[in-house]
Amino acid sequence: MTKGLENKEGFKKLYKDLYGPLVNYAYSKTKDWELSKEVVQNTFVRFWNKRNDINIRSSVKSYLFSMVRNGIIDHYRKEKNTVDLEEIQNSRSLIIEQDEISIQNDYKFKYGLKKAISTLKEKRRRIFVLSKFEGLTYKEIADYLNISERTVEDNIAKAFKEIRNYFYSNNLI
């Protein structure tokens, strides 16, 4: 037990003598009066609760100033963790929103593509599907349909142009 703090009267005198200087010290570090008062108040509460376990090697005054400094550090450390948690939650919400938008856009794109392909002429649609969905080369398509590779190239190019025009005219892009 710390000498002079065996009773409430000694603690009250210590509180009365050091409360102001401790708040001023805390304010010099935080620039926030309310936070400074809160940290000092919490320091005195912790000090009183642990008075029987504390072994002070320097002065009580120095010990309390150290406790206030550590209280300020703890406050900002907790505040930083709280901000980090808020940032994580905000990031998760943003990712979820982006995923939802992405899914909507993906669905919109796939639906639009399906509709655009369905507007192609039969032969052009067949060539396009064989190339882009079945993975056949231009030569394989030409051999399969008994047409020239140049005809396959032209039809693919025209299919892309028509699909692009469909997307623009239907505000899908």
pLDDT of residue 148: 95
CATH class, range 119-169: mainly alpha
Q: Which CATH architecture has domain 8-87?
A: Orthogonal Bundle (1.10)
Q: How far is CA 125 from the centre of its chain?
A: 44
The predicted-structure confidence for 9-18, as pLDDT tens digits, reads as follows 888 888 898 8
* Alpha carbon of residue 169 to chain centroid: 37
Measure CA 50 to chain center: 39
Q: Rounded to whole angstroms, what are the CA distances from 155 to 72, 99, 137, 146, 161?
A: 72, 35, 13, 14, 10
- What is the domain partition of the chain in residue ranges? 8-87, 119-169
Q: What is the mean pLDDT of each run of 10 residues along the chain (173 residues)?
A: 66 88 87 88 87 79 86 80 62 64 74 89 93 90 94 93 89 73
| 8-87 shares its CATH topology with 119-169 | no
pLDDT at 119: 93
pLDDT at residue 85, as a whole number? 60
Q: Give the pTM.
A: 0.47
Spell out a b/e string for 50-78, using b for 16 or more CB atoms within 10 Å of the CB, else e.
Answer: eeeeeeeeeebeebbbebbeebbeebeee
For 16-35, what is each residue's pLDDT tens digit?
988 999 888 888 888 889 88
What is the CA 167 to chain-centroid distance, rounded? 34
